[in-house]
Amino acid sequence: MFDKLHEECGIFGIYRHPEAANLAYLGLYALQHRGQESAGISTADGYRVRAWRGMGYVADVFSESRLHELQGHSAIGHVRYSTAGSSKLENAQPILIDCAHGQIAVCHNGNLVNAGDLRTHLVQEGSIFQTSSDTEVVLHLFARSKAPTTEDAVIESIGQVTGAFSILMLTRDQLIAARDPHGFRPLALGRLGDAWIVCSETCALDLIGATHVRDVEPGEVVVISDKGLRSRKPYPPARLAHCIFEHVYFSRPDSYVFGQSVNEVRTELGRQLARETAIEADVVVPIPDSGVCAAMGYAETSGLPFRMGLIRNHYVGRTFIQPQQSIRHFGVKVKLNPVRSILEGQRVVLLDDSIVRGTTSRKIVKMIKAAGAREVHMRISCPPTISPCFYGVDTPRRSELIAATHTLEEIRKYVQADSLAYLSLEGLLAAVGRDRANYCTSCYTAQYPVEFPRDADQYLQLTLKLQAEAGAHAEGKGQDQHPHPEDHAVIR
């Protein structure tokens, strides 16, 4: 409904708890913001692995009786927003197979950039794929492994994939968690009594009353069984590339990801934005919910009052999530309503975390002006999104990203704001603080830390032009970081 980048998945695993399925259900509930198209849970009771998956929200997919059927002391669960593989039940996770190593269920957050090549090779070798999901590649590699133990077969199969992955695998008697050596996606490790929990965000630990012990480290494989928890580091270290957009938008503000409070980082983004883009105004209004933390930081630093000038309807369901442009526009009105008493006659600083295509921003600015605002000054708590993501985030092609094809002034005119400003890349990195070199910022810089997938050309052609363009700017064309469409024509 909103013109946003979408996280692909959230994952949750628990080992050794009598209510494993129920706790997985609750954990997925807390991670619902990471994917709303499908949900699934697998459980293991020491003898066999079971699974149930369905399309829709966690609460739609699981009933009390369904959870009761998911017997076992261990479980993994998944919520999905699909891009790698289309939105179909067969692509929902966990994926469960039975092979020479026994039953294994897998769920994955991220995107495997060499999945296409591996899949082609496996098909040529006789593999038959059931889904279009990149995750299934890992299972085929696992099933073909001649390694002597399940654990070694998992490590061998994961060692062949590249890209972004936080992955959980469940056998009848083991829970295995692995994170790619770049650490693109978060993965937290927690404890609830004697049970171990592994999940995308710490908000899932909070909900079930578990303690956050530490994060699964980049490149680490954690093996949990009745013998306890063992950590292995089988892969060579790589440059860290935590997804900075987890802090900007994806993760819940009550979570800690990459060792930092999302709320604190997000509020600092707002403070930083106020330092960089201050303007005379009367009130700071967030686009809820994602703009709230940054708006509070902006208000704090600017000295302007923070007011909820837009009210969000939290009960709008998936019914309205439609691909058609017309429905998407209608959806904004369904989801947000302006508060006239706050906006009328005011000069409004409107805070949002990103502009993707610009269509929603335009609708919201119009809505605020229609409610009587005198001026609307749009402020974005991250740099312009100029390039697609290949590491587990649903991004439109570069040609659809408004900041990739328009100047700042063109975007301002399109969204009909009185002024528009983005946070600088330096400001974004300053807000994440001490570990700034450990972050991926590719969607703002078009500088990718890991190789592209085989079919990336269709997404990246314009990106390569942008890089040429950025070089031209660096050589003296000025400060404009939003290349003009005519400049692209010159580069062509």
State the catalytic residues. 9
CB 393 within 8 A of CB 448: no
Site string for ligand SF4, 162-191 (x = CB under 6 A): ----------------------x-------
Distance from C-alpha of 301 to C-alpha of 274, rounded to nearest angstrom: 6
Instruction: Please report whether residue 393 would count as binding ligand SF4 according to CB under 6 A.
Output: yes
478: helix, strand or coil: coil
Helices (H) and strands (E) in the chain, counts: 19, 25
Instruction: Please report whether residue 440 would count as binding ligand SF4 according to CB under 6 A.
Output: yes
One residue of 443, 446, 462, 466 binding ligand SF4 per CB under 6 A: 443
Q: Which residue has the tokens 């990459």?
A: 258
Taking the complex as a whole, how short is the minimal distance between the CB of residue 440 and ligand SF4, in angstroms? 3
One residue of 441, 453, 463, 482 binding ligand SF4 per CB under 6 A: 441
One residue of 245, 258, 414, 422 binding ligand SF4 per CB under 6 A: 245
Taking the complex as a whole, how short is the minimal distance between the CB of residue 244 and ligand SF4, in angstroms? 5
Instruction: Please report whether residue 115 would count as binding ligand SF4 according to CB under 6 A.
Output: no
C-beta of 15 vs 391, nearer to ligand SF4: 391
Residues 6+ apart with CB under 8 A from 173: 44, 46, 225, 226
One residue of 39, 112, 243, 428 binding ligand SF4 per CB under 6 A: 243
C-beta of 296 vs 355, nearer to ligand SF4: 355
From 79-87, 99-107, 196-204, 239-247, give the range in contact with ligand SF4 by CB under 6 A. Answer: 239-247
Say what the alpha-carbon torsion angle 63, 69, 74, 79 is, to the nearest 10 degrees: -30
196: helix, strand or coil: strand
Residues 6+ apart with CB under 8 A from 198: 11, 12, 13, 14, 168, 175, 177, 187, 188, 189, 190, 216, 222, 224
Taking the complex as a whole, how short is the minimal distance between the CB of residue 227 and ligand SF4, in angstroms? 35
Taking the complex as a whole, how short is the minimal distance between the CB of residue 197 and ligand SF4, in angstroms? 24
Taking the complex as a whole, how short is the minimal distance between the CB of residue 116 and ligand SF4, in angstroms? 18
Instruction: Please report whether residue 52 would count as binding ligand SF4 according to CB under 6 A.
Output: no
Instruction: Please report whether residue 244 would count as binding ligand SF4 according to CB under 6 A.
Output: yes
Instruction: Please report whether residue 204 would count as binding ligand SF4 according to CB under 6 A.
Output: no
Instruction: Please report whether residue 389 would count as binding ligand SF4 according to CB under 6 A.
Output: yes
Tokens at residue 441, please?
């910022």
Q: What is the crossing angle of helices 325-335 and 359-370, to 10°?
A: 40
CB 400 within 8 A of CB 385: no
Q: Which residues of 53-62 are buried (b: 16+ CB within 10 A; e: fewer)?
A: bebebbeebb
Binding site for ligand SF4 (CB under 6 A): 184, 243-245, 389, 391, 393, 440-443
